[in-house]
């Protein structure tokens, strides 16, 4: 009997308010678990997202409001491969091997340039490593399991922003050497940056 494809979709919602604007943008992480093409489960979790920058260091704050407890994750990142990122959960800092820089790559899409920074969470855990893809000003736009093939894509309620995010996320996912696996500090180095032009 031919195996069917199960498709599991989880939606995680988060909201970020830009004090320079008069409106708020709602953010959602859509989690794809590609085992089959059947929608097995859908879940929505509201997450508050804040992004602050000081002395070239960006602080990403994610607050997960759950029924019994609230979890706060803070990630300190810098546009430099020499900077040691810092990862906090509920105020407790993880060790230096918990969240490490892997690599970076530039993409040009319809004339807009993006530099994507890849990090590994839990790189020393054989089946537990997750790749995080950070784009400055957007935050973490993509998360991908190195073992199970699951991934999370950032989405918003802004259609124009979604178009840019979807193109960038799809290009990263299609760049399988860069996006797959945890390499522990740049064993893989991309040969060249990628330029994409979408024709109307």
Q: What pLDDT sits at residue 183? A: 67
pTM (global) more than 0.85: no
Widest pairwise Cα distance in the chain: 59
CA 192 to chain centre: 22
Q: What pLDDT sits at residue 44? A: 56
Element (H, E) at 152: strand 151-156
Q: What pLDDT sits at residue 10? A: 42
Q: What pLDDT sits at residue 35? A: 60
> Can you state the percent helix, strand and coil of the chain, rounding each to 5?
10, 50, 40
DSSP strands (E only) in 18-145:
24-36, 44-54, 57-65, 70-78, 86-89, 92-93, 99-109, 112-121, 130-135, 139-145
Q: What pLDDT sits at residue 121? A: 92
How many CB atoms neighbour CB 122 within 10 A?
Answer: 17
pLDDT digits (tens, 9 = 90+) for 58-94: 999 988 777 777 889 999 999 998 999 999 999 999 9
Euclidean distance between CA atoms 42 and 59, whole angstroms? 30
How many CB atoms neighbour CB 50 within 10 A?
Answer: 15
Q: List the structure tokens of 156.
A: 């918003």
Q: Which residue has the tokens 């509920």?
A: 90
Q: Which residue has the tokens 């994610």?
A: 62
Question: From the CA atom positions of the chain, what is the Rg in Å?
Answer: 17
Q: What pLDDT sits at residue 38? A: 54
Q: What pLDDT sits at residue 8? A: 37
Q: List the structure tokens of 179.
A: 């996006």
Q: Is 151 exposed, middle or buried (0-12, 13-18, 19+ CB in 10 A)?
A: buried
Euclidean distance between CA atoms 174 and 166, whole angstroms? 12
Q: Can you list the residues of the chain whose pLDDT is less than 70?
A: 1-23, 34-46, 183-200
């Amino acid at each position: 009997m031919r195996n069917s494809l199960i498709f599991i979709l989880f939606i995680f919602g988060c909201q970020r308010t830009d004090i320079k604007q008069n409106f708020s943008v709602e953010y959602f992480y859509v989690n794809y678990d590609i085992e089959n093409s059947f929608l097995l489960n859908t879940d929505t979790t509201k997450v508050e997202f804040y992004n602050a920058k000081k002395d070239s260091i960006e602080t990403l704050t994610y607050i997960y409001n759950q029924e019994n407890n609230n979890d706060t994750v803070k990630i300190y990142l810098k546009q430099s491969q020499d900077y040691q990122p810092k990862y906090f959960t509920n105020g407790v800092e993880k060790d230096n091997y918990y969240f490490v820089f892997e690599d970076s790559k530039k993409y040009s899409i319809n004339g807009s340039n993006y530099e994507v920074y890849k990090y590994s969470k839990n790189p020393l855990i054989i089946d537990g490593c997750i790749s995080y893809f950070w784009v400055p000003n957007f935050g973490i736009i993509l998360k991908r399991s190195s073992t199970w093939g699951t991934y999370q894509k950032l989405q918003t309620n802004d259609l124009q922003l979604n178009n840019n995010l979807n193109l960038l996320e799809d290009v990263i996912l299609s760049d399988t050497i860069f996006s797959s696996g945890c390499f522990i500090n740049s064993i893989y180095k991309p040969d060249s940056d990628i330029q994409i032009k979408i024709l109307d």
